[in-house]
Every structure is written in C-alpha cells, then in structure tokens.
Amino acid sequence: MPGDSNHPAKQGALASTLLLIIGLASLLFGFLVYIYTRECAGCGVELIAGGLGFPTGSGHMAIPRLPGWLPSGIHVFGFALITNALLTTKNELKGFCVLVWTFINLLFELMQSDLAYQAWVEVNRALSLEMVSHWPMGGTFCPFDLASAGAGGAVAYMTISLLRR
C-alpha cells in the first residue's frame, strides 16, 4: 500500500534522508574539529565557544583537544553517506560509494608524505605542469590519518548497510 510505512519506496526515501542528515552533520562536526585542531585556527572557534557559554580563558578553551587525524575518518564517513543518499537507493552500491571516498582520502593523505610529494613535483616538472606541482604542500603526513580514513570507510559501510537493509 502506498500509505504503508513499510512500503519499500518509503523505506528507501527515509534511509536516504537519514543518510543525508547524518552525513551532513558529520561533515559539520569534522569541519569544527579540523579548524579547532589546526594551528591558529582556534581563535574563531574560541569566540564562538565563549558566546555559547563554554568557559574560555588565557587563550585556551575548556573543550578537550581532539586528535588531528579525526577529520580524515569523518570526511570519508560523511561523503560516503551523502553520495549514497543522493545517488542511489540501492543497497548494492554502498560499497562503491565507500571505496571511492576512502580511495580519494587515502590518495590525498599519501600525497602529503615527503616521498610522494617529491615524486609529484618531478612528474609535474617532466610534464610541464608547474602550476599544479605544489598542490599537496601545506599538509602534514601522519599514518594515523590513513588509519582514520579506513576506519571512517568501515563505519560508513556499516551505517549504510544498517539503514538500507
């Protein structure tokens, strides 16, 4: 029946809506963690936190320090959920969305390593692509970012599986 909440089309739309909301909320949280854990980025966060009533003082917030690798996992998780919510209602494609975003994040993180960066510069120099030869600069390679991206992908896969069953 079309009015039945157990109707497959209604369940698919509800799952997509939940995935979209969870994905967007996780990206917002990831953005806040990202700007809070980066050097000199806490200034704006401190003003907002003080305005919301969080105790701040002496340039330090009372909010506990979160690990800098956390956004890597959150990005994979959030983007995989959003992609699955917007592009498909099919359970079979959940792995594809997760794999694509995990691969993109791992590639980005690996490009921040010194060895990969030097290789990137040499390839771009050989191809005369000087304009894009420095795009990975400014990042810091950390193996925990790789682990976090993998964990974010695993949690995204489980979340999509749970909501799309």
Q: Cβ neighbours of residue 117 under 8 Å, at least 6 residues apart? A: 111, 136, 137
Q: Are 111 and 63 in contact (CB under 8 A)?
A: no
* 69 residue type, one letter: W
Give Cα 96 to chain centroid, integer Å.
16
Question: Tens digits of per-residue pLDDT, 4-50?
Answer: 556 667 778 888 999 999 999 999 988 877 666 665 445 555 566 66
Residue 57 parent element (H or E): strand 56-57
Rounded Cα gap, residues 112 and 144, in angstroms = 13
**Would the pLDDT of 84 be above 90?**
yes
Q: Is the pTM of this model over 0.75?
A: no
Rounded Cα gap, residues 44 and 46, in angstroms = 5
Domain-wise residue ranges, the chain: 8-163
